[in-house]
């Protein structure tokens, strides 16, 4: 199925009136827009005002809105759509499991295994993403993203893998491990500490 981009709805600002597992409904002056998102809807509070940058996917049987908290996530989403056989739903799933920093790092390092470990992304798809986005990312922006993210040591990488195996999204696992105190220097201690943090979120 081929999708077409229309920029007539490029952002929405309104009140959250309904929350689903992967989507929210935003009331904009009396009109409710169902928007599929890549961020955890558990972080959204009913009745609050939000602004989302949006992508409108148009096909013969449906108009579907996808929403993002920042322009960069929207830009990455649109780049993913340029890769053969990756549609809006697949791109949404990829960005739900792997944050922008993880994607940039995997592409910069040409490390498809980093994405392969993310739930829902097969080995061939991960390789396709890394190869497909290689020439699409701005080199300076990619370097800035990577430098702003805490580098993972060998034991940290093992700890992230363990958390992913336990069912946690790669993005959440990586972020949590990267924020642990420096005195934690073994994978086992890192996993135990991360589980406490994740259990409180």
User: Going from the N-terminus, what domains does the chain have, and what CATH number goes with each?
Assistant: 4-71 (2.40.50.140), 75-148 (1.10.150.20), 154-200 (1.10.8)
At residue 184's C-alpha, the angle toward residues 182 and 149, to 5°, is 50
* pLDDT of res. 176: 86
* pLDDT of res. 55: 95
* Cα–Cα distance measured from residue 166 to residue 155, given in angstroms and rounded to the nearest whole number: 17
The one-digit pLDDT tens for each residue of the chain (201 residues) are 444 455 678 999 999 999 999 999 999 999 999 999 998 898 899 999 999 999 999 888 889 999 999 998 999 999 999 998 889 999 998 888 777 777 887 887 788 887 776 555 788 888 889 888 887 776 555 555 555 555 556 677 788 888 888 888 766 787 788 788 888 888 899 899 999 988 865
13 beta partners = 51
* pLDDT of res. 20: 95
* pLDDT of res. 105: 77
Instruction: Find, among 166, 169, 160, 167, the residue nearest to 190 by Cα.
Output: 160
Rg of the chain, C-alpha, whole Å = 18
18 beta partners = 25
**Which letter does DSSP use for residue 1 in this model?**
-
- Helix, strand, coil percentages for the chain (3-state, nearest 5): 45, 20, 30
* pLDDT of res. 27: 98
* pLDDT of res. 1: 43
* pLDDT of res. 25: 98
């Amino acid at each position: 199925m081929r999708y077409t981009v229309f920029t007539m709805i490029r952002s929405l600002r309104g009140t959250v009136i309904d929350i689903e597992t992967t989507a929210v409904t935003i009331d904009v002056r009396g009109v409710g827009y169902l928007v599929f998102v890549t961020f955890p809807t558990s972080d959204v509070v009913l009745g609050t005002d939000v602004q989302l940058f949006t992508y409108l996917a148009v096909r013969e049987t449906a108009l579907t809105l996808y929403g993002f908290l920042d322009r960069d996530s929207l830009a990455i989403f649109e780049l993913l759509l340029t890769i053969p056989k990756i549609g809006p739903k697949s791109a949404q799933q990829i960005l739900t499991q792997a944050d922008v920093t993880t994607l940039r790092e995997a592409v910069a390092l040409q490390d498809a295994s980093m994405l392969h470990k993310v739930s829902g992304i097969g080995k061939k798809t991960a390789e396709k993403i890394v190869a497909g986005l290689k020439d699409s990312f701005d080199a300076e922006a990619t370097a800035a993203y990577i430098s702003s993210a805490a580098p993972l040591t060998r034991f940290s990488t093992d700890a992230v893998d363990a958390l992913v195996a336990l069912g946690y999204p790669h993005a959440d696992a990586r972020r949590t491990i990267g924020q642990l105190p420096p005195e934690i220097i073994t994978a086992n201690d890192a996993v135990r500490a991360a589980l406490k943090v994740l259990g409180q979120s």
